[in-house]
Amino acid sequence: MSFSAKIFSVIVILVFVLMTAVTAFAENKGRQDRFVPRNDDYRASGQRAASQGSSPDCCPADLNCDGVVNGADLGILLGDWGQEGVPGDITGDGPVNGADLGILLGAWGPCTG
């Protein structure tokens, strides 16, 4: 794969993630009366999901517990990349890595049951 093709691929992925985040923000704008975990709330839920494999509050890959695995969760995971003991560690195996990314991408979309 040539260098310009790699750059093009990265740009396409970033545009997709940005559009997903904008769409998620637009959909959630009217849900101001709904509880949305903030700061330590979503971190605690993410850590609980990682340690228990599931949470009654949200599915394991839904790192911000908004009911859908989307660009916002991907942003949290990428921000936590390489760190240990953070919400992005979905597998609970130590550092946030490709295994966590694979689980998040596999769970992409609305959380089910």
Cβ atoms within 10 Å of 61's Cβ, excluding its own: 25
The average confidence (pLDDT) of the chain is 77
| Residue 96 or residue 27, greater confidence | 96
Beta bridge partners of 69: 109
pLDDT of residue 32 exceeding 70, the answer is no
Reported as a pLDDT band with limits 50, 70 and 90, residue 101 is very high
Pairing label, strands 68-69, 109-110: antiparallel
Taking the whole predicted model, whether its pTM rises above 0.85 is answered as no
Runs of H (alpha helix) within 29-86 = 40-52, 71-79
pLDDT tens digits, one per residue of 44-90: 555 555 544 444 567 888 998 888 999 999 999 999 999 998 889 99
Query: What integer pLDDT is reported at residue 57 of this predicted model?
Result: 62
Percentage of the residues of the chain whose pLDDT score is greater than 70: 69
Per-domain boundaries in the chain: 3-110
Beta bridge partners of 20: none
